[in-house]
Structures are given as structure tokens and as C-alpha cells.
Amino acid sequence: MRVSRYFIPTLKEAPAESELESHKLMLRAGLIRRLGSGLYSWLPLGLRVLRKVERVIREEMDAAGALEVFMPAVQPAELWQETDRWDVFGPLMLRMKDRHERDFCFGPTHEEVITDIARREIRSYRQLPVNFYQIQTKFRDEIRPRFGVMRAREFSMKDAYSFDADKAGLAKSYQAMFDVYTRIFTRLGLRFRAVAADSGAIGGSASHEFQVIADSGEDAIAYSTGSDYAANVELAEALAPAEPRPAAARPMQKVPTPGKARCEDVAELLGVPLNLTVKAIALMHDQEFWLLLVRGDHTLNEIKASKVPGLAPFRFATEAEIERHLHCKAGYIGPVGVAPTVRVVADRSVAAMADFICGANEEGFHLAGVNFARDLPEPAAVADIRNVVAGDRSPDGKGTLMIARGIEVGHVFALGTKYSEAMGASFLDEQGQPQPPEMGCYGIGVTRVVAAAIEQNHDTRGIIWPTPMAPFQVGLVPIGYHKSEAVREAADELYRKLWEVGIEVLLDDRTERPGVMFADMELIGLPHRVVISERGLKEGQIEHQGRRDSAPERIDYRNALAILTERTA
């Protein structure tokens, strides 16, 4: 491809709409343009990258025996009503009506559609196992689309669905997809980690996320220094402290803490470590008032809290409800002296505390030296309700946990029979008995992979594409293309020869000055740059520089094809 006949609208300055580095670079390099919030057009160069990612995914999925299909983006409401998800999905789902006033949605995912196919077409265990996949546009009306294609509303997803005759088969299919994902992300040149995850709204039992490691990631993942344990912090278990609760050593006393509503402020005022304080979080379950206790240096994990028996579904109590139940303003509330109707749940770490500090249920005061059993009843329940923090013991007992940020690019779920049962899909087993197939579903955010790759691979000059997703392998920069016949002939010849051996080359044949061409080439991040100049040609030499190399290397023009073939391999 020649730049003069291509379309790469690069920008010197990033549009004000962009915040994240990958988003800025995608706009500046002319990969994408925004149409509306969370809606992006892919320009030629960007689309080439997207297709590269898709190709790797297809190759690996096909190699694993998955079968590509293509399902409609627009789906009838009836299908979703069968699984109740017409209601469950809520405002995340984009809905519409056709001319007959019938309800449809723009599919946020395709379990219902694929299960509909399965219930119509799969009749015998002899047809199992089978795995269908597609690469297709999804729409999710996100609360807050952001970071360009990283969290877009319309995006491309590879989604796969496996059907097995039994649980053992599902386990095999799940593992096969886990392995495929590992191969895909490895091939794409990403640093990633597979982490245990909550199965969330999709439902099911086993689940792993594939997280690309990046500081700007929206997800926090916990991993062990002493084993291969890794989990989303939403899921990572916080073990009870190894040491039992010490004996009470101090009397309980009320201390004035005017204006100090946060644990951090109270600890600072009293000159004590934050981990001696306890914060009380007020929740409502119907009309029940619950008080959840976590240490001042910890944070509540809502997913874990929802698993406390009797608490789900819950919401945070309003200020008015707090005052009604505790007769105190938020900021000074605590578990001491509360009415017996208040359900108190202590995090495991709180249950092991003695002489702690908490709100006094009186504005402007906290209590110090508080002890369970002596000053207040033992909590009604002790549970793991907090997020793990760096330094916690690993749940598998090996090593300690570290926290890293990640971008979720893939997610595998073992669904079981949730959808096949809800939609009446069944096949006849070897005994001629109808059985619901065991299902799994497996997603990769194709468009997000592109953004994640940039987030992980860029420098101050621009993108640094991992080879398998680079839009072109080589950027050919002739200096004086329009002035020097020797340069033009050499550049044209090398350009042609490289294409002949299957190396994708982008030839910058514009009349731009060298600095402009270099800057653009670095911005769009091709892995290899070749510079051809009259000066070098006089000695029979041209230059090669890898995108990560600090300086160019002179190579013999006659050997250029062989050298580049080797280096781009």
C-alpha cells in the first residue's frame, strides 16, 4: 500500500474527548473516529488491525474444532422473555420496536439465540459435543461509555457456545476454550493473566477472566506471590487473620471527634493506625436495617456482601434511614448499643479485633477501646465481606497477595443447563432419555483487544504494534522519492519484492519532508521501518530499524529482502 493512495488521517494533537493513552493514539494514528458516545467508526488502518486480531482468533478457534456461525444482531423479545433476561438485563439492553410494534433488542450477547438453534437442531448425543462461535457486533447501553473502544456501547465480540452431553464433557470443552484463549492472547503478544472470576449476570458455575495487565485497567486482580493463584478482587477470598482475637486491654471510652466523619480522619486525629478503626456501612434489605463492619483500611465488597445469608438484595441506606435506626448522623455510626433489630455483620478481620475504634452513634464522637462480648454482643454473623488488599495471605495458603490492574479482554463461563433448561433444549442420550445439554460460553472483546494492546505497547512517539496485529509489517520511507530516480527505483523495487514474498509494506511516497514521514510512521507503530536514501544507496546500503530499537542499522540493499524476510518472520 502506498500512503499517497491510502487514508491515514494522523493528528498532531489528540482531540479533547480522549483521556486514556490508547484512546488518544487510536485517534491520532487515524485508526478510529467517534460518531457518538461509545460509538466508533473504524478507518482503513484500524480495520486492518481489527481483521488481524480476528484472524488469529479464527485460526485458533477453528483449530480447536469450533464452528463459525453468524447470528442476527436484532433479536425478538420473546426469546429473552423465556429466560427472564428481558427484565434482568435492564437498561443495559438497547430495545426497539418494529413497524408492528413488536419488541426487539439489539443483542448484548447471544445465549438465547444459540440455545434456540440448539433446541431445534440438536436431537442426539451423537451430535455432541459441538461448539459454535461468531465474531459479531454487540450493543450494550453502558452506564458510562469511556476510553474510546475500550468501553464502547457498540463493539465487536467473538462469542462461542459449547454444548456437551454431560458435566465431564463441559469440563473438557471449558478447558479446551481456556487453552485456546491462552494461545490466542499469547500469539497476539499480550501480557495477560487468567484469573478466577465471579460469573455475574451471565450465570453459571466456573468462570475465568483473561486480563491484560495494564495500570490503566478498570479491573483489579489479586495474584499470589507464592503460587499461580489469581482472581478478580471481586472474588478473591480474604482469609480470617491467622492470629486469634487478643484479649481486651483497654476500657471503652467516648472520645470527641468533631468534624471527623471518615475513618482516615479519626485515625489521624487520635494518632492511631487506620487498621484500629472500624467503619460501619448501613444497608437496607427490604425494611431490615443492616450494619456491616469492615476495618478502616478495608473496603466493602458488594458481591461478597450479597452472599451473606438473608442480605441480598440490598441497597445502601439513605441518610434518613440511618438517622431513623441509629438516631445519629452518618459519619459517627457504629455497632455499639444498637437496637436488637439491627443485623450486625462483621468482616472476618473485624471479628478478630480488640480495643478498636468505631462511631459512637452520637454526632461528633467515636468510641475507643471497644471489644466484642464485653461492650457489645458478638456480631450476628462473621463473613468475608471485604476486598482483599496487597499483603493479604493467599487463599490457597501459599504466599501473599499482590494487586494489579487489568483490562478484561476475555471471559469463559461454564453455564451448565441454565439456558438449555429455561428454553427447553434437550437431546436424547444413549438410553433414549431426553437431557438438557451442558453449556459453556466464551467471549473475547475483539475491539477491546486492540485498545488493550496499545495500552500495553506504546511510547511517547506512538503505538508499538505486536507483530501479529500490526496493520503492515514494514514501513518503507524513501527520502527524496520524488527527486531521486535511484531512490524511487530502489524503493519501488523493494516494495514490490516484499509484497511478492508476502510481507505487508506501507510505502510512504508522499512529498513530505523526512521528519513528517518518520513521525507518522512511529505514530502508527509498524514493527519495522526501512529508510532508503540517495546517500545510502551510493554505498549500496539502506537502513532498518525495529520500532523498539534505539538506532537504525545499515543493511546491504542487495540482501534487504532476505534480511527483512528473516526479521519479520
- Of the pair 103, 265, the CB lying nearest RNA is at 265
Q: What kind and span of H or E run contains 279?
A: strand 278-285
List the x/- string, 43-82, binding to RNA by CB under 7 A.
----------------------------------------
What distance in Å separates the CA atoms of residue 351 and residue 240, rounded to the nearest whole number? Answer: 9
Hey, is 463 helix, strand or coil? strand
List the x/- string, 230-249, binding to RNA by CB under 7 A.
----x---------------
What distance in Å separates the CA atoms of residue 133 and residue 131, rounded to the nearest whole number? Answer: 7
At 157, list the grid cell.
465480540
Write down the residue that cell numbers 480522619 correspond to. Answer: 265
Instruction: Give which of 263, 245, 224 is closest to 349, Cα–Cα.
Output: 245
281 binds RNA (CB under 7 A): yes
520 binds RNA (CB under 7 A): yes
CB of 101 to RNA, least distance (A): 24
Cβ neighbors of 16 (< 8 A, separation 6 or more) are none
319 binds RNA (CB under 7 A): yes
Query: Which residue type is seen at 540?
Result: G
- Of the pair 70, 316, the CB lying nearest RNA is at 316
332 binds RNA (CB under 7 A): yes
The bridge status of strand 130-139 relative to strand 67-68 is parallel
- Of the pair 170, 235, the CB lying nearest RNA is at 235
302 binds RNA (CB under 7 A): yes
- Of the pair 30, 129, the CB lying nearest RNA is at 30
CB of 386 to RNA, least distance (A): 8
Angle CA 292–298–303, to nearest 5: 60
What distance in Å separates the CA atoms of residue 447 and residue 151, rounded to the nearest whole number? Answer: 9
What distance in Å separates the CA atoms of residue 304 and residue 152, rounded to the nearest whole number? Answer: 28
CB of 51 to RNA, least distance (A): 25
330 binds RNA (CB under 7 A): yes
522 binds RNA (CB under 7 A): yes
Count residues near RNA (CB under 7 A): 63
CB of 128 to RNA, least distance (A): 39
Using the contact rule CB under 7 A, the part of the chain among 53-61, 119-127, 159-167, 258-266 near RNA is: 258-266
Q: For residue 486, what are the CA distances in angstroms to 513, 541, 544?
A: 18, 12, 18
Cβ neighbors of 28 (< 8 A, separation 6 or more) are 10, 11, 12, 13, 14, 462, 523
- Quick one: 249 exposed, middle or buried, by C-beta within 10 A (0-12, 13-18, 19+)? exposed
What distance in Å separates the CA atoms of residue 554 and residue 560, rounded to the nearest whole number? Answer: 10
CB of 514 to RNA, least distance (A): 3
Q: Which of 531, 555, 560, 564 binds RNA (CB under 7 A)?
A: 531
At 235, list the grid cell.
472474588
CB of 236 to RNA, least distance (A): 11
376 binds RNA (CB under 7 A): no
What region does 124 belong to: left with phi over 0, alpha with psi -120 to 50, or beta? Answer: beta
Using the contact rule CB under 7 A, the part of the chain among 17-25, 69-77, 126-134, 236-244 near RNA is: 17-25
Query: For residue 382, what are the β-bridge partners?
Result: 346
Are residues 355 and 389 in contact, defined by beta-carbon separation less than 8 angstroms?
Answer: no
Using the contact rule CB under 7 A, the part of the chain among 171-179, 184-192, 235-243, 514-522 near RNA is: 514-522
Q: Which of 25, 50, 122, 283 binds RNA (CB under 7 A)?
A: 283
Q: In Å, how far from its chain's centre is CA 17?
A: 22
Query: Which residue type is seen at 397?
Result: G
- HSE of 481 in the Cβ direction (CA atoms, 13 Å)? 21
Are residues 423 and 112 in contact, defined by beta-carbon separation less than 8 angstroms?
Answer: yes
- Of the pair 249, 320, the CB lying nearest RNA is at 320
CB of 367 to RNA, least distance (A): 12
Using the contact rule CB under 7 A, the part of the chain among 58-66, 125-133, 442-450, 515-523 near RNA is: 515-523
Q: Which of 26, 176, 235, 263 binds RNA (CB under 7 A)?
A: 263
Provide φ and ψ at 4, rounded to 5°: -65, -25
324 binds RNA (CB under 7 A): no
Hey, is 255 helix, strand or coil? strand
- Of the pair 117, 342, the CB lying nearest RNA is at 342
CB of 130 to RNA, least distance (A): 38
- Of the pair 38, 217, the CB lying nearest RNA is at 38
563 binds RNA (CB under 7 A): no
Q: Which of 196, 518, 555, 568 binds RNA (CB under 7 A)?
A: 518
DSSP per position, 510-564: SS--HHHHHHHHHHHT-SEEEEEEHHHHTTTEEEEEETT-SS-EEEEGGGHHHHH
What distance in Å separates the CA atoms of residue 60 and residue 233, rounded to the nearest whole number? Answer: 29
- Of the pair 180, 294, the CB lying nearest RNA is at 294
- Of the pair 49, 357, the CB lying nearest RNA is at 357
Instruction: Give which of 517, 564, 361 is closest to 10, Cα–Cα.
Output: 517
- Of the pair 102, 262, the CB lying nearest RNA is at 262
513 binds RNA (CB under 7 A): yes
What distance in Å separates the CA atoms of residue 418 and residue 350, rounded to the nearest whole number? Answer: 37
15 binds RNA (CB under 7 A): yes
363 binds RNA (CB under 7 A): no
Q: Within positions 454 to 493, which residues make up the interface with RNA, using CB under 7 A? A: 461, 479-480, 482-483
CB of 381 to RNA, least distance (A): 18
Using the contact rule CB under 7 A, the part of the chain among 138-146, 429-437, 464-472, 497-505 near RNA is: 138-146
Cβ neighbors of 303 (< 8 A, separation 6 or more) are 198, 234, 235
Q: Which of 5, 36, 247, 271 binds RNA (CB under 7 A)?
A: 36
Residues that bind RNA (CB under 7 A): 10-17, 19-20, 34, 36-38, 143-147, 234, 261-263, 279-283, 299-302, 316-317, 319, 322, 330-333, 359, 387, 461, 479-480, 482-483, 511, 513-516, 518-520, 522-523, 531, 533, 535-536, 543, 552
